Amino acid sequence: MNAPITLPMLPTRGKPGVVLTFRLALRELRGGLRGFYVFIACIALGVAAIAAVGSFASGLAEGLAREGGVVLGGDVAFVLIQREASTAERAFLASRGALSTVATMRAMVRTADGRTALVEVKAIDRAYPLYGTVVTEPAADLAELLALRDGAFGVAADPALLTRLDLRPGARLTIGSAAIELRAALVGEPDKLAGGIGFGPRLLMSEDALRATGLLQPGSLVRWLYRLRLPTSSTAVQTIDAAKVQFPDAGWEIRSRNNAAPQLERNVERFSQYLTLVGLAALLVGGIGVANSAKHFLDRKRDVIATMKSIGATGSRVVAVYFVEVLMLASLGIIVGLAAGAALPFCVAAFFGTIIPLPFAPALYPGQLALALTYGALTAATFTLWPLGRAHDVPVSALFRDEVAPQRRLPPPRYIAAVAIIATAFAVTAVAAAVDRKIAIIFIVAAVMVFGILRGIASLVMVAASRVPRPRTTILRLAISNIFRPGALTPTVMMSLGLGLALLVTVLEIDTNLSRQFTAALPERAPSFYFVDIPSNAVDQFDAFVRQEAPRAKLERVPMLRGRIIGARGVPAEELKPKPEAAWVLQSDRGITYTSEIPAGSRLVVGNWWAPDYSGPPLVSFEKHIADGLGLTIGDEITVNVLGRNFSARIANLRTVDWNSLGINFVLVFSPAAFNGAPHTEIATVTYPGGGTTSEETALLKAVTDVFPGVTAVRVKDALDTVAGIVMNLVLAVRAASSITLVAAVMVLGGALAAGHQHRVYDAVILKTLGATRLQLMAAYALEYLLLGLVTIVFGVAAGSIAGWRIVVDLMTLPFRWQGGPAIVAAVIAVVITMIFGLMGTWPVLGRKPAAVLRNL
Amino acid sequence: MDDTSVAMGPYMPAVLLAGVNLSLGEGAARVHILKNVSLNIGRGEAVGLVGPSGSGKSTLLMVMAGLERPDKGQVMVAGQDIGTLDEDALARFRGRQIGIVFQSFHLIPTMTALENVAVPLELAGAPDAFVRARIELEAVGLAERIAHYPAQLSGGEQQRVALARALAPGPAILVADEPTGNLDETTGGEIIDLMFTRFAAQDMTLVLVTHDAPLARRCDRVIRLRSGHIEEEITTA
C-alpha cells in the first residue's frame, strides 16, 4: 500500500462558479441521450414548425417586396373606380414618368352557340406591361395579338376559359356588343397578384376593344389603374405627395411598389400567425413530454444528486448542473428544429417553386430563426425547471434508505417563481411577435386554461379513484389503484391525450363546419344570381324581363355605387385607428347604396331610420360592428369619395347585418338623395324559393346575357365554388400544421407510456412473484387505460367542440353546427389506438424474468 | 463564525451530540428513532456504531453527517453547531469537513475515477482538484485506473474510489456506513485496512456503522444502540 500523504489544507472558501457547473453538466451528458429522445423530438418539432412558418412567410414578404414593381405593374399605381382619370389628372401622371393604363371589370362572354361565362376582363394599353412580361401560348407580340383584325379584336384568355367553353385559338366570341377572337392562351400575367381573387378566368384585351364592347357605361363597375414607371424609384413619394396636393378630391387609391399587395401581405401575415400559433401549440404539447423526460431523468438521477450533495454540492448547484444539461439537450433539439425549419422554404422553392403563384424568396431569415430559438429555449426552461426544482431538496439520506416511491413535493419557491417568470416571458414573446395580439392573448389564456383544467381533472380522477370502494375483482382493483398510486401515469396521459384529442376535435369541427359552409346545400334563402352593372335607365326593362323568364323567382334590386371612406369626424381615413376586424373597410373601395327603407337582411339596433320622404342633408346607416371597430357612433360625420367627388353624411343609425343570407348587404346605406346626380348602375339578386335548379339557372343566365349583354351575371354556386377552393386549400394547410401538434401529442404519450413501463417493471415483477399471470396484468392495464381514455374522451370532445365553436363563430364569423358523431368517433378511435400501442409496449415488460429484477431491488 | 471553519480547541470534541431526538415518517407511520441520544466523540478517535437492524445506528450517522436534522437536541461537528446552518451552508460544510463512505459506493457513473474523486475538491473551489485527486487515487492503489468509469471497476475498486473521494478534501470526520456490506470478505478486509491506515495517517475522526464485530473491535470505542438508545459503550483500546 502507498505511503500516507499530506496535502496542504483546502482554501477556506472557494468560489467554484459557472465553469464548474458547465463542467459537471458536460460530464453528466456522457450518460447519453437515453430517456431524452422524446424531449429532443418535442423541442425539434415545435421549433421546426415555427421556424418553417416564419421563414416561409418572410420569404413571401421578401418576394413581394422585391417584386413589388412587377406585382403592382409599376412604381406607383393610381386606382379609380367607375371613372377614368380626367384630362388634367392624366396629364399630371404622364408628366411624372412612363404611364400605362389598365382597366378591369367583370363581364360575360358568349360563344357563337350561346354558352356564356363570367370573365375578369383586363384591358391594356400599348405601354403595358411596365414591368415583367406577358406569356402567351402560342407566344406572340402583344400589340399584334390584341389588334383588330377581320372585324374582331384579339384576346388572350386564361386556359381555364378555354377548357370551360371548349375553345381553341381562333374561336369567335362576343363580349358586350363587340366581337372578339381568341388568339392565345394567357399563361403568365406579371401583375396578376394585384388583382386579388377573381370569380372568373382572365380575359386580356386592348383598351380599344373594351371601349368597343359598350360595357363602359356611366356607373359601370370598372376599375381604372394608372401605373407609372418613374425615372428613379425615389421619386415615388414626391409623386404621391404631389398627386394628393394637386388633386385632393380625386378619390384615387394610391399604392407604391413598397405596398404593392397590402391585402395579400396582410393575409400572409395573418395566416402565418395562425400557423405559428399551431406551432406554439405543438411546443406546448411537447412541453409535457419535455417535463416528463426531465422528471424521469431526475428520478433516475436521484442517487447521483444525493451523492453530489453528500460531497458538498448545494441544492442550487445541483439544479444548475441539471438545468445546464437539459438546456444543452434542448439546444440539440433546437438546432435540429432550426435546420429543418430553415431548410423548408428552400425545399419548397426547389420542388414547388414553379407552381407557387407568388413571388417567393427563400433565404435564411435570422429574425425568424431567433424567434423559433427563443420559443424552443423558453419551452425547455418552463417545462424543466419545475421537476428540476425538486432536485434541490433531494435528501442525501436517500442513499441510506431505499425509497420505492419518493415523495413528490413542490419545488422551492424560487423555482416556482422562475417557472412563472419564464412562462410569462413565453407569453409576452408570443403576444409581442403576433400580428393580431388579441388572438395571441386568447391563445395563451386558452392554453393555460386547458393545462389547468386537464391537470385539475387528472387530480380529480386520482382522488375519485382513491375513494372508490375496493372492488372484489383483482383486475379492477389493480386497474383502479394504478390510476392513483404514486408515480401514476394519470396526469401525463390525461394531459397529452387530452390535449391531442381536444386538438383533433377542434380541427374536425372547423373542417366539417367550413366544408359544410361551402359544399353543402346553400341556405334556401340564398340567391341564385347577382346581376351587376344593370344600367339605371334599363332597370324597368330588366325587372320585367327577369319576372317573365323566372316567374317563380324573387327579384331584389338596389342602386349600387362604389365609394371609398376618406375620412370620419374630420380625421383622414389613413389616420383613423380601426380595430383589426374593421380595418378592411378602410382598405379599398366598398359597395354602397341608398334607399328609403331598411334593407332586407338588416336589423336596426341603434337610432331611427329616416322617413320615406326624407330629403334633408345626407344621412348614412352604418353596420354596427364596423362602426364600433372604427370608433364611430350616431351623429358622427363620414366622408366618402364616389366617382371623384366627396360626399359627407351624418350617421343616423346603426344596423346589424345577416351576412350569411348571401343577399345584397352593405356596410354603408345612404339616404335617398345623398348622391344626386352621380351616375350609377344597379345590382339585383334573383332567388328561387327553395333554391334554383341547374336548368332553371342556366336558362335564365343565357336569356339575360342574350338580351342584356352589358349586364354581368355572377352565379352564386360558381362563386362559392371558387371561394370554397381557396378556403379548402387553407383548411389543408391548417390540417397539415395541426398534424404537427398531433404528432407532438403522440410522441409525448408514447414517451409517457414508455417511461411508465419502467415504473411498472417493479409492480409486475412483485405481482408475478405473487402469482399474477401476464394476462391478468394486461387486463388490469387495459382497464386502466380504458378508464383514463373514457374520461379523456369526455374532456377532449368537450374542449375541442368549444374551441371549434368559438373559432368558427368568432374568428371565421360563420354559423356553427356541432358535429358530435364524427368528434366522438375520432376520439374513441384515438383512444383505442393509444390503448393498443400502450399494451403492445407493456407486453414485453411483463415478460421480464423476476429474478433479474429482484436481484437489483 | 464562517460556516465552514474549524474551531477545534485541544479539548473540543470532534462530534458532540446533546439530547438528540428524531422521529421519521408521517402520521401513523411516524417512528421515534433516536431517543435522547447524547454522545461525545473525540478528535482522532475511531468509533464503531453497532446494534440490531432498526436500532438507529445509520440514522445516528446521518445526524452526525448533517444529513438529518434532529427534532430536538444539539449537534456540534468539528466545532460547528450544524443546526444553525441552512441547507446550502451545510452542504458546503459537509464537502469540506465530512467524508462519507457508503455501503453501495455511490460513485457518479458518468464520471471517471479521477473525476469522482475530484468533484468534492472542485466544489470546494480547490484550484488543484485533479492533482489532489490523482494523489488520493494513488494512495488507495488505483493509479492505473484513474480513467476508468465506475462500471469498469470491480466492487472493491469502486469502494477504494469512494474512500479516496471521501478523504480527498481532508475531512475532520470520516463516516462510513457498512463500508464492506457489498463486498466479499477478502476485498472488505482490504478496504478496512486501507481505511484504518489512512485514518491513522490523517488527523481525523472515524465513525463507522457495522454489523461486523471484529471490525468494530478495531475502533477505539464501540457504541451499541438498541431501540434508539445508547445501550452500552465499550472502550477497546
DSSP assignment of A626-645 equals: HHHHHT--TT-EEEEEETTE
Could you list the beta-strand ranges (E) of A624-749: 637-642, 645-657, 668-670, 681-687, 712-715
| Residue pairs between chains A and B whose CB atoms are closer than 8 Å | 130
Locate A207 and state its grid cell: 383598351
**Residue A728 clears pLDDT 80, i.e. is over it:** no
Q: Please write the tens of the pLDDT for every residue from B22-76.
A: 998 777 778 899 999 999 999 999 999 999 988 999 899 989 988 888 999 999 9
Lowest-pLDDT choice from A161-170, A360-369, A575-584, A761-770: A761-770
* Amino acid at position A101, single letter: T
Question: For position A380, what pLDDT does the model report?
Answer: 93
- Tell me how far apart the alpha carbons of residues A460 and A470 are, in angstroms, rounded to a whole number: 18
User: CB distance B139–A5 less than 8 Å?
Assistant: yes
B197 Cβ under 8 Å from any chain A Cβ: yes
Contacts of A510 (CB under 8 A, 6+ apart): A731, A734, A804, A807, A808, A812
Residue-wise DSSP of A280-315: HHHHHHHHHHHHHHHHHHHHHTHHHHHHHHHTT--H
A586: β partners: none
Q: Please write the tens of the pLDDT for every residue from A318-335.
A: 999 999 999 999 999 999
Question: For position A257, what pLDDT does the model report?
Answer: 81
Question: For position A177, what pLDDT does the model report?
Answer: 87
| B106: nearest CB among A7, A30, A307 | A307
B6 Cβ under 8 Å from any chain A Cβ: no
A28 Cβ under 8 Å from any chain B Cβ: yes
Question: CA distances (Å), A101 to each of A104, A126, A130, in order?
Answer: 10, 9, 10
- Peptide bond preceding A129 in cis form (omega within 30 of 0): yes
User: CB distance A399–B106 less than 8 Å?
Assistant: yes
Identify the residue among B31, B53, B82, B87 best suited for mutation to test binding to A, counting A beta carbons within 10 A and taking the highest. Answer: B87
- Tell me how far apart the alpha carbons of residues B126 and A763 are, in angstroms, rounded to a whole number: 45
- Cβ-in-10-Å burial (0-12, 13-18, 19+) of B74 comes to middle
Q: Please write the tens of the pLDDT for every residue from A541-593.
A: 999 999 999 898 889 888 988 888 888 888 888 788 888 778 778 877 788 89
* Amino acid at position B83, single letter: G
- Cβ-in-10-Å burial (0-12, 13-18, 19+) of A282 comes to buried
Place B118 in a pLDDT band, splitting at 50, 70 and 90.
very high
Could you list the beta-strand ranges (E) of B54-140: 72-77, 80-81, 98-101
- Tell me how far apart the alpha carbons of residues A93 and A250 are, in angstroms, rounded to a whole number: 13
Average pLDDT over residues A342-370: 83
Question: For position A694, what pLDDT does the model report?
Answer: 83
* Cα radius of gyration (chain B): 17
Looking at residue A808, the DSSP 8-state letter turns out to be I
Q: Please write the tens of the pLDDT for every residue from A74-99.
A: 899 998 887 889 999 999 999 999 99
Q: Which residue of B lies nearest to A11 if distances are taken between CA atoms?
A: B126
Q: Please write the tens of the pLDDT for every residue from A428-478.
A: 998 898 877 888 898 889 888 888 888 899 999 999 988 888 777 777 888
B7 Cβ under 8 Å from any chain A Cβ: no
Q: Please write the tens of the pLDDT for every residue from A366-415.
A: 999 999 999 999 999 999 999 899 888 888 877 776 554 455 678 899 99
Average pLDDT over residues B84-94: 86
Residue in this structure with the C-alpha cell 358568349, named with its chain if needed: A110
A316 Cβ under 8 Å from any chain B Cβ: yes
A408 Cβ under 8 Å from any chain B Cβ: no
ipTM of the complex: 0.84
- Tell me how far apart the alpha carbons of residues A246 and A17 are, in angstroms, rounded to a whole number: 70
Widest Cα–Cα separation across chain B: 52
The distance from CA A132 to its chain's CA centroid, rounded to whole angstroms, is 31
Average pLDDT over residues A255-272: 76
Average pLDDT over residues A587-616: 87
What's the gap in Å between the CA of B121 and the closest CA on chain A?
A: 8
User: CB distance A313–B95 less than 8 Å?
Assistant: yes
Contacts of A587 (CB under 8 A, 6+ apart): A262, A263
What's the gap in Å between the CA of B235 and the closest CA on chain A?
A: 26
Strands A202-206 and A253-256: unpaired
